Amino acid sequence: MLLEFRDVWKSFGSGYVIREITLTLGEGEMIAIVGPNGSGKTTILRLASGLIAPSRGEVLVRGKDARSPAAKALLGYVPHSPPLYGDLTVWENLVYYAGLYGYADLSKVDSILAELGLDAFLNRRVAELSYGWRKRVDLVRALLHDPPLLLIDEPFSGLDDAGRRWLIEFLIQSVSAGKTVVITSPRADVELGATVYEIQGGKLNAVTG
């Protein structure tokens, strides 16, 4: 299994936000976690990315603790607020993050930059970009090391129609190529053919029909 939640609970001091989550995902699967703001969607992604630890249970990426460097090397995480440096240009941000991943050659993302229209913004400071454009840059950042697991918090937020269409097609193609994708959304109509889970009372329930 690529991603496993084993009876995961998460508390932030005043009761459990996440409770009794058991989930297994293999290669080439996509799920959408839906629910209102504050329901725990982002907490699940942060647990999967190893940014926070479960209060109870285990989160594993290919059998390794999600907080370990070996596990983190297998995933790309796109949070709701892009972790980009505003004073750096788009290109400088990508070069910086590629260095963290141990990559010097960025040619493999040239086509993605072009398809997203970012090739015209490479020398622009990130602080000058709208939220939607920063979101596109952050998606490229998460793909630099070609991870088998993609975690994307509300992927369509801030995107125009063209960006939304591109991302839908890209995610579907990624799953067909064997990548595993986990996204969150405030609504169930995510247009991706993903398996949908609704979070209620901190628990995940599969949505059928």
pLDDT for residue 31 is more than 90? yes
Partners of 58 in the beta sheet? 6
Quickly state the pLDDT bin for 190 (edges 50, 70, 90).
Answer: low
To 10 degrees, the CA torsion angle through 76, 5, 21, 205? 60
**Model's pTM, two decimal places?**
0.92
* CATH superfamily, with its number, for domain 1-74+147-209: P-loop containing nucleotide triphosphate hydrolases (3.40.50.300)
d(CA 1, CA 60): 9
Whether the per-residue pLDDT at 104 is higher than 90: the answer is no
Q: What is the mean pLDDT of residues 177-187?
A: 92
pLDDT, tens digit, 9 for 90 and up, residues 4-13: 999 999 999 8
Range list for CATH 3.40.50.300 in the chain? 1-74+147-209
Give me the pLDDT at residue 198, please.
94
pLDDT category, 175, cuts 50, 70, 90?
Answer: very high
Band (179; pLDDT cuts 50, 70, 90): very high
Q: At 73, which amino acid appears?
A: A
DSSP secondary structure string for all residues of the chain: --EEEEEEEEE-SSSEEEEEEEEEE-TT-EEEEE--TTSSHHHHHHHHTTSS--SEEEEEETTEETTSHHHHTTEEEE-SS----TTSBHHHHHHHHHHHHT----GGGHHHHHHTTGGGSTTSBGGGS-HHHHHHHHHHHHHTT--SEEEESSTTTT--HHHHHHHHHHHHHHHHTT-EEEEEESSS--SS-PEEEEEETTEEEE---
Tell me how far the alpha carbon of residue 102 is from its chain's centroid.
20
The tokens for 69 are 């460097």
| pLDDT beyond 60 at 209 | no
Angle between helices 131-143 and 90-101 (to 10 degrees): 30
Residues 27 and 179: beta-carbon distance below 8 Å: yes
Q: What percent of the chain has pLDDT over 90?
A: 68
* Whether the predicted pLDDT of 197 surpasses 70: yes
Does the pLDDT value for residue 208 go beyond 80? no
Give CA–CA dist 184/207, Å, rounded: 14
Output the pLDDT for position 94.
94
